Amino acid sequence: MPNLHGITVPHKKKTAGTVPVSMGVPQTAYYPMHQNIGAPARPAVKAGDSVYVGTLIGEAGGFVSSPVYSGVSGKVKKIEESVQPGGAYSPTVVIEPDGLQTPDPSLEKPVVTDTESFIEAVKKSGVVGLGGAGFPTAVKLGVKDPSKIEEIIINGAECEPYITSDTRTMLDRADDMCEGIELIRKYLGCQKFIIGIEKNKPQCIKKMRETCGKLSGVTVEALPSLYPQGGEKVLIYNITKKVVGEGMLPIDVGVIVINCTTLAEIARYIRTGMPLTEKCVTVDGSCVKAPKNVIVPIGTPAREVFDFCGGFTQDPAKIVFGGPMMGISASDVESPVLKQTNALLALCEKESQVPPASNCIRCGRCTNTCPFGLAPVSIVTAYENGNMELLSSLKVNLCMECGCCSYVCPASRPLVQQNKLAKAALASWKKAKEENK
């Protein structure tokens, strides 16, 4: 069976060869409590409290949530409401670092003896989907019946342009990944692991084959460099040919997908007891003087990370958290690095111009490139006409917002952007319909 459709994007992974360097302590650190899909964390400290590296500053705010830990040692200055890139407000813990980076003395290695304590440890690690989505990993791994897991796919596709932080994980942290695989094998009982990597990273494929690939039950799969290869459902289909249908989760077809950096972080936490407090971030874009991979304490303002990379060659017109295909553009260069931030891009005026939309010429490129075969043009028409029945039958709810349709559109129509609006409108319409029943 053929793979799902996709698009060829420029790779621009020129930072792939740069070994990540630590940037040191920021002047101020900001910790928004919403750093995951699901409920935001609740602040666990108050102004004036002393904190260390790894001190819990936000407790998980529900089942689908994740705790937040301080990446610096110092004093809590205040807790404020702040706007997140993307527009949502979130309580934010502001910490003034003392520059000592003292680890929290109360931290202990977690005691992991069985499935339950393993999931508990993953929960405590503060790890979320580090490929960018930020879904709490403990919820993903904490399936009711682990025997249902037939295979675990380790996502090393890294299909977005620019980003190489996962590349670096695969090259530099193969030991952590091997450890993670063995932990999952031991506590979840899964015996089959597949590491999926796009072919544009031959060095990662080689490294993985020489390390993790030597473990029993682990295979390394070289995938075509076709965006969005790393999309969860796309990866599952292209590797296993299993379809995660409407209303289903990957586990319903016996699969769990875990990002390679997420896997490494779980292993590191269980080995050291230090939760997720720092992150490897790819700093790139035409306005960055010295693009590189940087290990950044979570909470560091983007500006300080850019400054560490030599500052800007020209004033950037757009700052993107994440990749250029699905990343979020920030309104403020002081917005902090979050757990799921894997790249910081500074794009120049020319790159950030959005050409005006013109008439659809019905070329069909959007439909033909959509991995799921959605028809963005029909979706937009149905949405504009408020035809919810039609929207429902066009399956806009399956749109993963990868943006291929907008990327290829010669008329520059905002297709995925309107798909997102249509998805939200359809969801609230369906909810209202349920309530009226």
Partner 1 sequence: MNKLKVSVSPHIRCGETTTGIMLDVIIAMIPAFAAAIYFFGVRALYITSICVLTCVLGELAFQLIAKREVTINDLSAVVTGMLLAFNLPVTIPEWQAIIGSLVAIVVVKQLFGGIGYNFANPAATARVMMLISFSGTLTHWTEPHNPDLLASATPLSMIKEGDHEALPSLFSMIIGDRAGSMGETCAVALIIGFVYLLLRRVVTWHTTVVYIVTVFAFSYLAMGFDLELAIYQIFAGGLLLGAIFMATDYATTPPTPLGKVIFGFGCGIITVAVRLWGSNPEGVSFAILFMNILTPYISRLTARRVVGAKKPEKKTA
Considering the complex, state which of residue 189 and residue 364 has its C-beta at the smaller distance from partner 1: 364
The least distance separating partner 1 from the CB of residue 43, rounded to whole angstroms, comes to 27
The single residue listed with the structure tokens 């992991």 is 112
* Distance of closest approach, residue 137 Cβ to partner 1, in angstroms: 23
Residue closer to partner 1 (CB basis): 3 or 101:
3
Taking the complex as a whole, the smallest distance from the CB of residue 306 to partner 1 amounts, in Å, to 11
Phi, psi values for residue 141, rounded to 5°:
-80, -20
Nearer to partner 1, 107 or 317 (CB): 317
What are the beta bridge partners of residue 81?
91
Closest CB to partner 1 among residues 39, 411: 411
Burial 299-330 (b: 16+ CB within 10 A, else e): bbbbbbbbebbeebeeebebbbbbbbbbbbbb
CB of residue 316 to partner 1, shortest distance in Å: 7
CB of 215 to partner 1, least distance (A): 31
* Site residues (vs partner 1, CB under 8 A): 4, 7, 9-10, 161, 233, 237, 243-248, 315-320, 324-333, 345, 347, 351-352, 354-355, 358-364, 367-368, 370-375, 393-395, 398, 401, 403, 406-412, 414, 416-417, 420
Q: Minimum Å distance from CB 178 to partner 1?
A: 33
Nearer to partner 1, 217 or 410 (CB): 410
Q: Is 215 or 375 the residue whose CB approaches partner 1 more closely?
A: 375
* Cα–Cα distance measured from residue 72 to residue 52, given in angstroms and rounded to the nearest whole number: 6
Six-digit token string for 271 = 């080995």
